[in-house]
Every structure is written in C-alpha cells, then in structure tokens.
Amino acid sequence: MPTAYSEYRAREGDGERDEHGEYETGDAPVIATRTAFRRFWPLTRGLRAGLLCVWLCAIGAALAETEAILLFSDLTDNALEKGSLGAFWSPAAEWLGVAVVGAIVGYAGNSLASWLTECFVMRLRDHVFSHVQRLPPHFFQRHRQGDLLSRLTSDVEAIETMVVSGLVGAASAAFSALFYAIAAIWLRWDLAAATFVLAPLFWLAARRFSGLLGDVSRAGRAADGAITSVVEESLGNIVLTQAYGRGDAERGRLKKEADSWFRASVRSQRLTEAYEQLVQVIETVCVLAVIGIGAWEISTGRMTLGQLLAFSAFLGYLYPPVRSLAQLNLTITAAKAGAERLIEVLDAQPSVGDPEPLPYADPHSFAYGNMNTYQPEGRPQGAVEVRNVSFRYPGADEDSLKNLSFTVQPGELVVVTGPSGAGKSTISKMLLRFYDPDHGSVLLDGAPVSGLPLARLREHITLLPQETLVLHDTVRANIACGRPGASDRAIMEAARAADAHDFVVRLPEGYDTLVDPHSAQLSGGQLQRLALARAILRDSPVLVLDEPTTGLDAMAARRFVKPLRRLMSGRTTIVITHDLDLAPDADRILVVDRGRIVETGRHEDLLVRGGAYARLHQSQHNPLMDTGELRLPLSSTQTLRFAWPARSGRGTSSSSEATRGNGWEPIGYGGGAPAQSAADVPTRYPEETGFLGYPQDAPRGILTRLPDGRPLFRDEPPWHES
Ligand SMILES: Nc1ncnc2c1ncn2[C@@H]1O[C@H](COP(=O)(O)OP(=O)(O)OP(=O)(O)O)[C@@H](O)[C@H]1O
C-alpha cells in the first residue's frame, strides 16, 4: 500500500525547481533507478576495463564452484557409495586444483572490485565537491552544512553500492546462478524444473519489499543529514550553547532528529529481516519439493543418492545468487535515496561561469588576452566601474541593488557605508562575480569582468571577507594560500607588513605552528592580521575589504588599521564598513541605502552637509542610533525635491553623484545637536510642525523622523515609499 510520502513523491522528478535548477530545500527529486544509474555511469570511464576483468573473474569463480559440485557428485557415487579409496584420489586432486584456481580467481576479482569501488567513490566525491565549490552563496544559505556534509560522505558511498558494487554483484550473482542452473539441468532436468517454477517467488518478495524500503531509506537519509547538521551547528556554536545554558535544548534538537532516524532505521531493519525470513521459507519450500521428487525418483530407481545429494548441494549454491539478485533490488532502492539527494546538489547551477574564449583575442589586453597563458605584464591598473547595476537575489522579492553606479580610479580608496541590509556586501559579490548583475555591468580597466576567467578575475581583485578563512594547517600555509608556491622570505615579509610576524614567532613552533578554524590559540585580531598577510602576499591591484574590523575591539581594530593602510597603498581599495575610522582618508565615500547610492563625497564635505553620512558618523558613538536600524533618505527625485528649512550656522553644500544633475542641493547643518536620548524623544511629528530633517536637527519636542517621512526605526508603522 502506498504511504502518504510515496504518494506525494510518486511522480518522477516532481521536486519544484527554481530558475537556477535548485529544488526547494528537502525536496530532492524522485527519480527512476535507470535515470540515477545513467547519471553516474559516465564516472566509471577509465574503470570499465577493470569492471570487465572483475566480471571475467566472477565467471571463472562460478565455473570453479560448479565444477567442484560436479566432482562432489562424482565422489559420492564412485568413492563413498562403493567404498573405494582408489576412486577417491583422482577426483579429490581435481577438486583441490579447481578450489585453488577458484580461490585465486576469486581473490583477484574481489581485490580489483574493491579498488574500483574506492576509485569510483573518490571520483564521485571529487565531482560533487568541485561542483559544490562553484555554487553561489545563496545555495549554502538554503542548505544546512551538516546535510551537505552527509551528502558528500554517506550518500556518495551509497551510490557506489548502486553503480559499482551493484553492477559487480549483479554480474557475479547472475553468472553463478546461470552456471548452477545449467549444471542442475544437466544433472536432473525434472528436479531443476521444479526449482525454477518456484524461483519467481524470490523476485515477487523482493519487489514487494523494495517499494516499502524506498520510502524508509529516503526518510533515513534525510534524518542522517539532519543529525549531522545539528551536531555540526551545535559544536560550531559551543560557546554560545554553554553561555546560554542551551545544552538541554540542543540535546532536544538532536533527539528530535535522532528519533526520526531511529524510526526509519528500525523500520528498515524490520523490513530487511522480514524479507530474509520470507526468503528462508521460500527456500525451504523449494528444498522440500526437490527432496520429495528425489525420494520418489530414487524409489523408482531412476536416480542415485549421490545425484540427489549433488543436486541438493547445487540448490545450496544456487539460492544465494538468486537471493542476492533479488536483494540487489532492495540495495539499489536504498542507494537510490542517496542518489536523489546528490542529484539535487548536482542540478543546482553555478550562478556564474568562465567566458567563452574570444575568436579574435587581443594578446596585449589583460582582459581578453590568451586566457590560458596569463602574462604578468597584463596586470590591470585597477580602475573599477560599476555601471547601472541592478540585482535581485534568487527568490528575493526586491532588488538588492537598484541602478547603482560608481567608479574608482586606480589607487583610490573608496569607503562604502550605509545601514545594515543596504546592499554593501552585495556590491562586493558583484565585483568578485559571485553573481552577475541582472542589468548593467561591472568593469575592470574598462573591460567587463564577465570577460575574464573567474580565477583570473579573483587574482586581480582580492576579497578580504568578514569571516577570516583559517585552514587546518600551519601558519605558513595559511599565509601562503594567498599565493601558492610563495617563498618563505615572501611569506615572512608579508607577515611583517601585516604586523603578524612578532606574534607568529612567539607561537610554540613559529611559522610551523598548526592553527585550526576553531582553535582559541589566536585571537580575532591575530587571525585578521594573518588574513591581511595573505592578502599582502596575493598582491593584487584591487582590494575589496568587507567589514575588515568587524568583531575586533577598539585596540585590535587600531592595530589592524595600520598594516591595512600599508596593504592599501598603491592599490585600488574598496572598503565596505560601518566603522568609519578609515573614512577621513578615503578619496570618496559612498553612502548606500536600499540598493542605491544616496550620498557621495569626502568625509569633511559629507559631515558638513549633515546628511545621511553625518548621521551614520554620529551613530557610531550613539547607542540610540544603531546603524542596523537607522534608515537613510533615498536619492529618488521625489525625495530630493524638498528643501530643508534654512538655519543659521549651516555648513557648505557640495554636489554629489547622488544629487548632481537634479537641480537640488541639500543644505547641511554643521555642528547639529546630537540625537536625543530615548527619554527625550518627543511624540508628535511632522504633520503638526512641518519639520523635515534629520534627528539631530529636529527642534526639541518633536519626534525625529527622516526627511522623506519614513520612521526612524524599521519596526515603527510602515512608511509608503513614494
Ligand atoms: N542570499 C540572499 N537571498 C536573498 N536576499 C538576500 C541574500 N543575501 C542578502 N540579501 C538581501 O539583500 C539586501 C542587501 O544585503 P547585503 O548583505 O548586501 O547588505 P549589507 O549592506 O552588506 O548589510 P550588512 O551591513 O548587515 O552586512 C538585504 O536586504 C538582504 O536581506
């Protein structure tokens, strides 16, 4: 009877997929065994000659066993029944010879099969892993790490049982069954016919059970992934778990997943056991039928006891391969659940790829040069342009970047700032081509970055992400991964420039000290400086730093800034940050909000203007104005059309990319009063007063509201974007 689950998943490939070929999480496609097999069969290329040898060995071993049984019949009839020792030696020697040959062939076949199996597992894992490496960031946000881990480990091994072991096992069982069947017919065709009549019972039993086992196996695999996820998440956040006393809650989470696994596992064992017992009963029926017919034949003198014993021995040999052929169905059904989970991963498409080589490439241009033979003189100057870029994350309701444009000249330092969720990190993803824009383009030295092979682009643009990448390796290797093959001297120079050398040499084994992603051996600041050394060693013309001082205290941040400036000198640098310590040095500051640039200019000018940047700057020292919640005005025409009330003591206004060309110049308020504390924030605004301005400009007694009418905090009643 079909279960609700099987009914739900009954149609092949019924998982919903989005435009990137991804299935909804947990919605692995249901596929036919044939489809799954065809999908992974190409990975056996180069191993197929080996598979053929294994099959030949399987044939040899089966022939040897068949011959051994025939010799047993001969021994029974000639040596045992007649009690003649003379008749013993010749068939005994022959039997021994056959057994030795069978053992050698069996050993060779099994060893080769194990080797092929492991090769296949390694290939498959490499294939899936290299595919996963190219998947876009949102794929990893949609899938739990532990679940991916389980797909790359146990599911990969499960597929092996379908493709290699399954095939080898099926071939060897089929040959054995065939030879034993021929020998049985040759011995006594009537007994053999009685046996074969009952053989389909095995097949019927296996078919019935494999359907039931399929659903249970899927549930088991999913639960296995969930358990790995919970353990991985829990251990990864062990400090948080302990600090918040979440031990019991975490155990509860694990127990919930473990319960699902337990149910699936027990049910699977029960089904397998029930199948085994049923098969035993079917076998007993077959044996009794044969003995019954044999007894009758002996009584009529048409058969000898030796023949009956030999025939029974054949049955003993014949049933295991018949049974394993039937059981293979069950094994393959269970393995198919793993295949479905891997196919879900393999069907997810990378969001970007390498460009097609151009037919008439200019060998002197770094962008379109011979992509396989990059010349060092092709190093770009580092001019970056983001031109009219709009972008929406797959599955998102809103664009994260809206027609955004800016340029950075070679060697310039540009700081990109703005409230949380404004789209700052998304800009870095465009530059590094984690995604391509939906509209517009990103250019490096005037050439679209999409024209560069990804590896080349990422050589030219180095990203220093928020999270520090730490490999489980030595300090030396952790720095050297910025430029594989770098000399020790270059590594140390990079470490010195990053202010890391001093603490590294104080480590127990200096540059050879083993570090670990979760080790407490190095502080956050030290890890950041290692990352900086890696970036220095990489020596690319463009640097993108995403929140380089996040998670560092003021002292560590200050320590980090000095070598950071060293790294930035002479390179095009784009710093994405809430921390405005670097802003005074910037050639330009871009203030981003809701995917648009709302202000640009130099630090002093923007402060004087008293606009979005000035508010952000103040918020750094004001707990009331958390930049995560602070909203900034948009640069839409309608927003910018109003004029703020004139005030004495105003600062100078300056044009910006955001305001230039629309005939409107915001009037800034130099030295505006700091924002009010929560207790001081009044309640009525703006209808009654008509005041439009930033909080620091609001007359006392008026609720602070943004110039475009939006509330200060997101959780206030909604505002309507004009
Ligand atoms: N994978 C994703 N899928 C859907 N939306 C996303 C995804 N990643 C980011 N976003 C959305 O895109 C917008 C911009 O995100 P982004 O990470 O660029 O902001 P940010 O300015 O860097 O924020 P923060 O300063 O907090 O890092 C946000 O509204 C965010 O919710």
| Cβ atoms 492, 501 nearer than 8 A | yes
Look up residue 328 and give its two tokens: 């293979």
| Residue from 25, 140, 400, 550 whose mutation best tests the ligand 1 pocket (most atoms within 8 A of CB) | 400
- pTM value is 0.64
Best residue among 389, 397, 417, 425 to mutate for probing ligand 1, ranked by most atoms within 8 Å of CB = 425
Q: What is the DSSP letter of 17?
A: B
The answer, yes or no, to whether the previous bond of 686 is cis (omega within 30 of 0) is yes
Residue nearest to atom 16 of ligand 1 (CA): 423
572 phi-psi bin (left φ>0, alpha ψ -120 to 50, beta other): beta
Distance 421 CA to ligand 1 centre (A): 5
Q: Ligand 1: which atom is nearest the Cα of residue 592? A: 21
At what angle are helices 524-538 and 554-568 packed, to 10 degrees?
A: 0
List the residue whose alpha carbon is closest to atom 7 of ligand 1. Answer: 393
Give the distance (Å) from ligand 1 centre to CA of residue 721.
19
Domains of the chain, first to last: 16-347 (1.20.1560.10), 381-588 (3.40.50.300)
Q: Ligand 1 center to residue 303 CA distance, Å? A: 84
Q: What angle do CA 455, 461, 462 make, to 5 degrees?
A: 95
Ligand 1 pocket test: which of 22, 393, 579 has the largest number of ligand atoms within 8 Å of its C-beta? 393
Cite the DSSP H helix spans in 237-367. 238-243, 247-299, 305-347
HEC-encoded secondary structure of 635-648: CCHHHHHCCCCCCC
Atom of ligand 1 nearest to the CA of 138: 1
Q: Which helix (H) or strand (E) holds 385?
A: strand 384-391
Nearest CA to ligand 1 atom 20: 421
Note whether 305 and 88 are within 8 A (CB): no
According to the model, what pLDDT value does residue 70 have?
79
Ligand 1 atom with minimal separation from the 576 CA:
22
Q: Which of 682, 709, 432, 453 is nearest to 545 (CA)?
A: 432
Show the tokens assigned to 549. Answer: 């001082």
Q: Which atom of ligand 1 is nearest to the CA of 628?
A: 26
- Cα–Cα distances in Å, from 39 out to 33, 285, 621? 10, 40, 58
Q: How does 546-582 read in b/e, with b if 16+ C-beta sit within 10 Å?
A: bbbbbebeeebbebbbebbeebbeebbbbbbbbbbbb
For residues 286 and 191, is the Cβ–Cβ distance under 8 A? Answer: no
- Annotate 292-325 with b (16+ C-beta within 10 A) or e (fewer): ebbeebeeeeebeebbbbbbebbbebbbebbbbb
How far from each other are the two terminal CA atoms of the chain, in whole angstroms? 58
The Å distance, Cα 617 to ligand 1 centre, comes to 21
Residue 348's region, left for phi above 0, alpha for psi from -120 to 50, else beta, is beta
Query: Ligand 1: distance of its center to the CA of 422 in Å?
Result: 7
6, 151, 214, 610 from 31: Cα distances, Å: 12, 17, 11, 61
Ligand 1 centre to CA of 549 (Å) is 19
Quote the ligand 1 centre to 594 CA distance (angstroms).
10
* 539 dihedral zone (left: phi>0; alpha: psi -120 to 50; beta): left
Give the C-alpha separation, 434 to 417, whole Å: 20
Atom 3, ligand 1: residue with shortest CA distance: 393
Nearest CA to ligand 1 atom 12: 400
Distance from residue 279's CA to the centre of ligand 1 (Å): 58
Cβ atoms 594, 422 nearer than 8 A? yes
Q: How far is the CA of 424 from the centre of ligand 1 (A)?
A: 8
Q: Is the dihedral of CA 454, 459, 460, 462 positive or negative?
A: positive
Q: Mutation test of ligand 1: which of 20, 351, 424, 549 has the most ligand atoms closer than 8 Å to its C-beta?
A: 424
**Which tens digits make up the pLDDT trace of 181-201?**
887 788 778 778 877 777 777
- For position 367, what pLDDT does the model report? 44
Q: Which amino acid belongs to residue 93?
A: A
Residue whose CA lies nearest to ligand 1 atom number 29? 421
Q: Is 668 exposed, middle or buried (0-12, 13-18, 19+ CB in 10 A)?
A: buried
3-state secondary structure of 176: helix
CA dist., res. 172 & res. 178, Å (int):
10
Distance CA 208, CA 186 (A): 33
**What crossing angle do the helices spanning 156-163 and 86-133 adopt, rounded to 10°?**
140
Tell me the residue type at 713. F
- At a CB cut-off of 8 Å and minimum separation 6, what does 696 contact? 610, 614, 615, 618, 669, 672, 673, 674, 675
Q: How far, in Å, is the centroid of ligand 1 from the Cα of 400?
A: 7
Q: How far is residue 265's CA from residue 220's CA, in Å, rounded to a whole number?
A: 6
What is the model's pLDDT at position 390?
Answer: 94
The angle, 0 to 180 degrees and rounded to 10, between the axes of the packed helices 488-497 and 554-568 is 120
| Ligand 1 residue neighbourhood (C-beta within 6 Å) | 138, 141, 393, 396, 400, 418, 420-426
Quote the CA–CA distance of 118 and 229 in Å, as a whole number: 26
If residue 545 lies in a helix (H) or strand (E), which one and from where to where?
Answer: strand 542-546
The residues of the chain scoring below 70 in pLDDT are 1-30, 81-83, 239, 356-377, 517-520, 550-560, 621-722
| pLDDT given for residue 12 in this prediction | 39
**Residue 572 C-alpha to ligand 1 middle, in angstroms?**
24
CA distances from 61 to 5, 319, 325, 433 (A): 43, 16, 17, 56
| Tokens found for residue 383 | 């001019």
Ligand 1: nearest atom to the Cα of 429: 18
| Residue at 140: amino acid letter | F
Tokens describing residue 8: 């739900």
Atom of ligand 1 nearest to the CA of 422: 21
Atom 31 (ligand 1) nearest CA:
421
CA 653 to chain centre: 49
CB–CB of 597/658 below 8 Å? Answer: yes
Ligand 1 center–CA 426 separation, angstroms: 6
- Which residue in 427, 452, 392 sits closest to 19, CA to CA? 392
**Exposure class string for 158-178: b at 16+ Cβ within 10 A, else e:** bbbbbbbbbbbbbbbbbbbbe
Residue 417 Cα to ligand 1 midpoint, Å, equals 13
Smallest CA separation from ligand 1 atom 17, residue: 425
Given this model, what pLDDT does residue 170 score? Answer: 82
* Cα of 140 from ligand 1 centre, angstroms: 14
Provide φ and ψ at 174, rounded to 5°: -65, -45
Condensed to tens digits (0 to 9), the pLDDT of residues 411-435 reads 888 999 988 888 899 999 999 998 9
- CA–CA dist 565, 494 (Å, integer): 14
Radius of gyration of the chain (CA): 36
**CB–CB of 191/294 below 8 Å?**
yes
Q: How far is the CA of 497 from the centre of ligand 1 (A)?
A: 33
